[in-house]
Structure 1
Amino acid sequence: MLLVEKMQETNFSPAEQNLVDYILQQSTAIDEQTIKEIATATFVHPSTLIRLAKKLGYQGWSDLKTAFIEEQRYLNSHFEAIDPNLPFKQTDGLLTIAQKIAALEQTTIEDTLSLLHYDQLKKATELLDCAKEIKIFTSNANILISQDFALKMRRLKKRTAVAEIIGEHVYEAHSCEETTCAILISYTGENHMLKQILPVLKQQGASVISLTSIGESTISQASDCNLSMTTRERLYSKIGNFTTSTSICYLLDVLYAAVFSKNYHQNLTHLINLGEAFDKRTSTSPVMEEPPMALLQFTDSFLPN
């Protein structure tokens, strides 16, 4: 749940509600205002700001203010020129549609990148790198997206699987161990099935990485680390899950690349060896053609002087 939504749905005293209305109206302008200035403008005692922050789950006004400003700046960035829910019109021609979808995907990746935090990405990379088994839990179209990530990870000798059978998720969660890293993917962060398996994963000692929308959610708060996906789409009044799917693909590609980089030379050599031994495809395109001694050319550039 976004902080703005939480402010709109929480029951406040008249003084607190007056303060909330002011904050929502001023938006990022409160960044330049002191507690005393805001209290004076809203005719409340300064302690009301602290009470409001604690009612919303923050330690104090400074924490609430920082979270609110960060959320507002995110919501007001990137998607100025295109609607993620209705990115094209009925009257648009085929090439116009193609251009708008391209712009939407490019903007989505930039948007998702802006949400990445180094500490969370570093922790997720370490959890995946140390895990003996990686298990992905998600639903619907996200299962298909996750399969490509699982395939690439298996090529790095990382035992990775997607829980695909409906009704079996709890049983698969029970089969996880302390050496398992579970990846939970949910746009809302409130997927019923995933919330059901969370305590099971914790009981089994598995580590949990979650991919969810921004804001507070049951899944993100219960995870060992969380990566935020772009949060722009409504639940169902939209043409398709364009931004959500692109954002998840990007985050999974980033995780794969981050794990790959932990043993860059070893992984690259392994993939080239397998490719030379088993990939018998041919092509007339010089772009696709593999040069002779491909492995030697690749590995020599990474050997120490």
Structure 2
Amino acid sequence: MLSKINHANKLSPSEQYLWDYLAQNRQTAMQWSITELSEHANVSTATIVRTLKKKGFTGYTDFRHGRLKTAAHNIPYSVLENADEQIQNVVMQNEEELKNTLKNLQVSVIEDTIQLLTNAPLIYLFARGLSETIAEEMELKLQLLNKQVAYFHDPNIIKQIAAKVKPHSAAVFITLNGQTPELVAAARTLSKMDIPQIVLTANPQAPILKYTDELFLGYQSFNNLFDEYEVHSRLSLQIMSRILLDSYVVRTQTNNHG
């Protein structure tokens, strides 16, 4: 919870949105200037200042310095004790992605997905780019659990295979941004064929979502240390993939021994 809350000043909808945004992006927001925060949160700098003043701060500088000071006195991990501010931010950014991804998970989605995977005689797995390593691990683990898996990552083959998927199968898409053209096209095709689709992504506005039956929505921080390249963190996808597979193992083993 953020400090200096003043309940006497009621926030407008846009101000409440900003305050919630700051709460969800505590670690990364501390690294931004007020202009950068304005761009990331898509609000005006005036809204930022007005919101923080209602919460008892004199302005953005006061808020940011207060957060940095609080963070320095509340070191949750020993690795941070002797680390400078830059390394602390790197570590805490990963914690932020982990915690927010776990907050997004829904038990009903996990349970329903387990049933889909259990009932499907064949599971189609689709991924592109850096997400392919996560898909490869999922493919291997599902095969070790005696599931028949067909994994595809070539963009041209993905489009062709989508039109030839066998009935009663299930499809899993692992895509960070959820907007890779060939994956969206494949999802659209499968939707017309009534093939249940499970999507792991970190983009709540992804175009692939309109074709999704079961959604695992992760959290992606805005900071990318490799700005010139499309190599954003896949930590949230890795977390969700592991939770899904481990949950599948637990449920299937329980049923087999029950």
- TM-score, L = length of structure 1: 0.55
Which runs of at least 4 in structure 1 moved beyond 6 Å after TM superposition? 83-86
Counterparts of 1:167 and 1:123 in 2: how far apart (Å)? 30
Equivalent position amino acid for 1:262 in 2: R
- Indicate how the Cα distance of structure 1 residues 237 and 206 shifts in structure 2: closer, same or farther if over 3 A, else same: same
Alignment length, in residue pairs?
196
Where in structure 1 are there 5+ consecutive unaligned residues?
1-21, 30-71, 87-94, 268-302
Counterparts of 2:163 and 2:30 in 1: how far apart (Å)? 38
Equivalent position amino acid for 1:175 in 2: K
Could you tell me which of 11, 17, 23 is aligned with 1:77?
23
Residue 52 of structure 2 corresponds to: none
Once the two structures are TM-superposed, the CA of residue 203 in structure 1 deviates from its matched residue by 3.3
- Indicate how the Cα distance of structure 1 residues 232 and 81 shifts in structure 2: closer, same or farther if over 3 A, else same: closer
Q: Deviations over 1:267-296 (max 9, x none)?
A: 8xxxxxxxxxxxxxxxxxxxxxxxxxxxxx
- Indicate how the Cα distance of structure 1 residues 259 and 197 shifts in structure 2: closer, same or farther if over 3 A, else same: same
Residue 119 of structure 1 corresponds to: 108
Look up the SS of the partner of 2:234 in the other structure.
Answer: helix
Once the two structures are TM-superposed, the CA of residue 215 in structure 1 deviates from its matched residue by 3.0
Matched, 1:155 2:155: no
Residue 135 of structure 1 corresponds to: 124
Look up the SS of the partner of 1:121 in the other structure.
Answer: helix
Once the two structures are TM-superposed, the CA of residue 103 in structure 1 deviates from its matched residue by 3.4
Matched, 1:194 2:183: yes
Look up the SS of the partner of 2:215 in the other structure.
Answer: strand
Matched, 1:230 2:219: yes
Once the two structures are TM-superposed, the CA of residue 266 in structure 1 deviates from its matched residue by 7.7
- Indicate how the Cα distance of structure 1 residues 228 and 238 shifts in structure 2: closer, same or farther if over 3 A, else same: farther
Residue 23 of structure 1 corresponds to: 13
Q: Is the 8 A contact 1:185 1:212 kept in 2?
A: yes
Residue 235 of structure 2 corresponds to: 246
Equivalent position amino acid for 2:23 in 1: S
Counterparts of 1:100 and 1:245 in 2: how far apart (Å)? 18
Residue 53 of structure 1 corresponds to: none
Structure 1 stretch displaced more, 251-260 or 112-121? 112-121
Counterparts of 2:248 and 2:31 in 1: how far apart (Å)? 33
Q: Is the 8 A contact 2:176 2:200 kept in 1?
A: yes
Where in structure 2 are there 5+ consecutive unaligned residues?
1-11, 33-82
Equivalent position amino acid for 2:253 in 1: Y
Could you tell me which of 196, 205, 209 is aligned with 1:216?
205
Residue 172 of structure 1 corresponds to: 161
Equivalent position amino acid for 1:161 in 2: A
Equivalent position amino acid for 1:225 in 2: E
Larger radius of gyration: 1
- Indicate how the Cα distance of structure 1 residues 114 and 84 shifts in structure 2: closer, same or farther if over 3 A, else same: farther
- Indicate how the Cα distance of structure 1 residues 85 and 156 shifts in structure 2: closer, same or farther if over 3 A, else same: farther
- TM-score, L = length of structure 2: 0.64
